[in-house]
Each structure stands twice: as structure tokens, then as C-alpha cells.
A and B are shown apart, each in its own frame.
Chain A
Amino acid sequence: MKTSTRYASPGDRIFDFCNIALMLLLIAVTLYPFANMMAVSLNDAMDSSRGGIFLKPRIFTWYNYKYTLREAAIYHSLLISVLRTVIGTIVTVFCSAMVAYTISRPEYVLRKWVALSFVLTMYFNGGLIPTYLLNKELHLINSFWVYIIPGIVGVFNVIIIRSFIEGIPDGIIESAKMDGAGDFGTFMRIVLPLCLPVLATVSLFVAVGQWNSWFDVFLYNSSNINLSTLQYELMKILQSSNGSMTQKTVGDVLSNQTGHVMNQVTPASIRATMTIIASLPIIMVYPFLQKYFVKGMTLGGVKG
């Protein structure tokens, strides 16, 4: 749009300089908190409490990580987080794609009804209490499946995948049918592989959502430590350090259990370590998959 070869006036130069300075400030404000957390998590806990840890650890140690991951509750919650992310993503993406395929078939007699039923749900929802009571009624409380089943189809995902399927030349699907493939076979062997780009984007969003969620754990499984997730464990630590709450479950496993080994870890060092563990998968994949992350936005149309 603009060429850098043209003459730059002094005003222009000052503008550019200020602009770049502002952008560097923005980068610093965005990244510093992560870097600081990282430094604290890799620094000796007692040393950290003396202060002065900014960007790099003063007394380097892996002890905080060793200690945190050795804690059975944390280790187990990490496992549940991974499980819900993997299972939830596969199930949701598969089911969403399947619905998308059926409503993209022009000959399907129920096509309009199925599509309308799904799209309508975008404009209302039952709200917290009726949903909670329903899941309770369905015995999804105290169960791993409450992380998966209530969300097996995302309407937004269906819409995105459908518009992608409709972009596939009709001849490809038709010729598969000519060769005697049924609808399910066509879906599995032709449509799914062709949809890989859009499925990658959708998977990424579903996976991030699964990894990041804690509210369903809090609502349905807070009494069962075996179903806790990493985000929820971090949330509990955060709550116990952020003032006393009367309404909330303050089950700060770690802070209680760390009581007797205070000389090696502190609540602050544990919190920093947990924060890094809970965000690391996203921070690690983000630079490589950035393209897909951003595509999700443009595919989804205008953000409300």
C-alpha cells in the first residue's frame, strides 16, 4: 500500500519512532507477565520471596516443577485435562462435521429441519440453573462425561464446516456415490479428508476451549478430586491467595499440603509454576499454529 522509498518528512519520522516505541511497549506489557511467572517458577522459592526476580531466575532450580508434578492431585488433574482435551476435541469435531455433512446434502429430506433446529439454538439458551438441573437429572454430576457430552455439537462449528463442505465441487461427492459409496463412507473417506484445513481450525478452537475451562469442573465435579483439571486446581490456588471467599469452595490442596515443607516451596512459587504449566501447551503451539488461530475468527464471520 505504502512504499518505504518515498521521502519521509521529519514529522513522519517522529511519528514512526513513537509508533514503534508504542508497539515495543505493547509487546513488553504482553510478554513480561509470562516471563516473570516463568522466572519465579524456575527460581528457588525462598530466594524468590526476598524479591527482585524479574526476567530471569537468580538461583535456578527445577524443584518447583518437580514438587508440583509429584503432587498426586496435580499430576492426576493434568491427566484429566489432557484426556478431556483429546476426547472432547475428537468427539466434538467429528459430530459437528457429521451434522454439517448431512445438512449440506441437497437431497436430504430432513435437511431444513435439522439445520433450523441447530441454528435456532444460537439465539437463546436455558441459562445456568436449568442447565445445571438437567445435567444433575441426567447423572452427569460427578462424572467425567459432563466435560464432553453437553458440548458434542457446536452450532458455530457446524456452520463453518458446512460452508466449507459446500465449497467442495459436487462432482467429487457425486462420483464417490456413483462408485457405490454410501453417505457414511463418502463422509468418512472423501469429505473428512477434504475438510482437513477447516477441521484443523475448528479442532484448535475446541481444544483450547477444553483445555482452558474450569467452570464445569467447579459446577459439577468440585467435590470429586479425581475429576479435577489443571485449570481448576490453579483456580483453587488463586482463590485461596486472593482474599477469603465465603461463597466459594476454598479447597487449596497445595497450600495446605505445602505447610510442612515451607522451606522448599512457597504458595507464590507453586502458583507461578501452576500458571506456567496451565498455559504452556497453548504458548508452545501458538506461534506455529497462529495462522489457524486467526483463521477461526475470519471463518466465523463478524464477531458480535
Chain B
Amino acid sequence: MVRKSLLSKLIEQRTLVLMSVPLLLWLFVFRYIPVWGWTIAFQHFRPGTKLFDQEWVGFDNFKFLFQDESFYRVMRNTLAMSSINLVLGFITAITLAILLNELRHLYFKRIVQTISYMPHFISWVVASSIIVNALSTESTGIVNLILLKLGIIQEPILWLAEGKYFWGILGTAEVWKNLGWNTIIYLAAITTIDPAQYEAAEIDGASRLQRILYITLPGLKPVIVILLILNLGNILESGFEPQYLLGNGLTADYSDNLDIFVLKYGIAMGNFSFATAAGVFKTVISFILLFSANHIAKRLGQPRLF
């Protein structure tokens, strides 16, 4: 076959070109141009001014950022909330996966699984409405009701009005919403454990608990390690929706995280450059963390993310 020039090949494959190039242009506009927008962080950006007329200010916005006290508060909140979510999420998901695996009744197991996955698909708006309802001080607030009945508290607690409860509520909300969903990967890992190991252990007289501790858990270790590493790479991603929806003026000192910080400064106050600097800071740190995590995963002989 004669080697054709690129142009004639493109003409020959014009249908494929027509099918992909318009979407490639879309990709360029909607995914690549915003990255160019990072330059806003190094400008004193004024909307309505032409791109090349913007004033360049170097790292000034980053200097302001690191001098801003509220930035350290949102960093603390971000790290605290994602750590709590990470630890709680891991422990509960692994526990539930193991317990599900121990259910003898397969039909019952499937029902529990189906129900526990459901909240994952509900929007955070709906979930927040449900949580606000459950925590309310009114008659429908089941949490206060139960605590009062049990005599643990004497007065209903205004859960969402005090900052000190916020991280705990957020962690619990995340667990309520995603517990079932998070078990899927562990359940898949458990099925790869060789059943012969369980049989051998049983013959040797190992109890249920011993089999969980010495066969199931070690079998899950590789998955746990890789997920832990990858999640550490995402430590600055503490979520946005639940904090925004459940937080309020009274809890802002504890509920505002980096994403909300960017939103407040950028969209609400119109301080685009400063907010972009915070966003760029987050993206760069996340990128470094993700690459390090990936590198560590490779070192440990785990499958890499990319």
C-alpha cells in the first residue's frame, strides 16, 4: 500500500474527523481554557477588562492568602473533616463488608446491600433535608427524641447551631450516605480470597472471629492499603455540598472549608484573583499528593492509578 499523506488520510476518514473534532474543540474550550484561567491568580483581575490589559501582580495574591487568618481556619477545617471522613469511612465500610460476608442468608444479604446502597444516589440536598429533620429540636427530631428517652440529655440539643458538633455530624452524614456504597470494593476483594483457607481454618478449629481476624482482614489488606494511599492523595477534597448545605452562620468557623472559601471570596465578594489563588494552591497541593501517593503505591507493588 502506498503511504498516504496525513491530509489525504484525514480526507478519507472525514466522517471520523467530523465525529470527533467538534467535540475536541468543545474539550479545548471547556476543559483546557479554564486551566489557562489560573493566570488570574497572578493578576489583579478586573472583570470586563481585556485579557491583555490585566495588571500582573506576581505572587501577591498568594502572599495575601498566606497572611489571611481565615485561610488557616479553612485549611484546618478541610484537613479535619477529610481526616474524620477518611477514618470513619474506612472503619465502617470494612466492618460492614465483613459482616455482610458473614451473613449466611444470601437473600437477606442482598436486601441489606440493596438498601444500604440507596442513599448514595440521593442528592445531598435531599440528604441534608433528611439530616436537618432528624436533628431538629421539634417533634420530628428523632435523635433528640431518642436521647431524651434514654435520659442521656435533659434538653433537646440544637445540633446544627453549634460549631463543636459540626465535624461529627458531617462524618456521620457521610457514613449514612455512603456506607453501603463504600463496601462494594471490599466485598469484591473478599470474593477473591481462596475459600480453601476458610475450610482449612475451620478444620483446625478456628472460630468465626478468628477466621475474620486471620483470613478475611489479611485478605483485604492490599485493597485497604491502596485505597488509604489514594485517599490520602485526596485529603484536600473534603467535599463541598454537605458543608455548604448543613453549615450556617453559627457553625461557619467549623464548617467552612477550602471550596467554600473560594466560593465566598470569588463569587460572593467578586475577588476573583484571590479566590483563584486559593483554588490553584489546592490543585497544586492535591496534584503533588496524588503523584506521591501514586509513587508510593508503585513502590509497594500495588497497581498504580495512572
**How distant is the Cα of A61 from the Cα of B238 in the complex, in angstroms?**
41
Question: Which residue in A15, A49, A131 is a CB contact (below 8 Å) of B102?
Answer: A15
Contact A134 B184 (CB under 8 A): no
Contact A279 B139 (CB under 8 A): no
Contact B245 A303 (CB under 8 A): no
Contact A128 B275 (CB under 8 A): yes
- Rounded to whole Å, the gap between the CB of B156 and the closest CB of chain A is 12
List 5 extra interface pairs beyond A212-B126, A246-B249, CB under 8 A: A16-B104, A30-B116, A40-B133, A215-B240, A290-B114
Contact B15 A33 (CB under 8 A): no
Most buried by B among A29, A130, A268: A130
The 5 closest A-B pairs by CB, nearest first: A126-B34, A130-B37, A51-B139, A243-B248, A212-B123
Nearest B residue to A283 via CB reads B118
Most buried by B among A26, A53, A187: A26
Contact A26 B112 (CB under 8 A): yes
Nearest A residue to B104 via CB reads A4
A133 touching B139 in the complex, CB below 8 Å, given contacts A12-B208, A99-B23: no
Using CB atoms and an 8 Å cutoff, list the residues of chain B in contact with chain A.
Answer: 6, 9-10, 13, 15-21, 23-24, 26-38, 40, 47, 96, 99-100, 102-104, 108, 111-112, 114-119, 121-126, 128-134, 138-140, 142, 160-161, 176, 179-181, 184-185, 188, 195, 198, 202, 207-209, 226-227, 230-231, 233-234, 240-241, 245-246, 248-250, 259, 262-264, 266-268, 272, 275-276, 279-280, 282-283, 287, 290, 303, 305-306
Question: Which residue in A20, A99, A247 is a CB contact (below 8 Å) of B103?
Answer: A20
Within 8 A of B (CB), among A276-291: 278-279, 282-283, 286-287, 290
Most buried by A among B26, B116, B123, B208: B123
Using CB atoms and an 8 Å cutoff, list the residues of chain A in contact with chain B.
Answer: 1-2, 4, 6, 9, 11-12, 15-16, 19-20, 22-23, 26-27, 29-34, 36-37, 40, 48-53, 95, 98-99, 101-103, 105, 107-110, 114, 117-118, 121, 123-134, 136, 138, 149-150, 152-153, 182-184, 187, 208, 211-215, 219, 231-232, 234-235, 237-239, 241-247, 268, 271-272, 274-275, 278-279, 282-283, 286-287, 290, 293-294, 297-298, 302-304
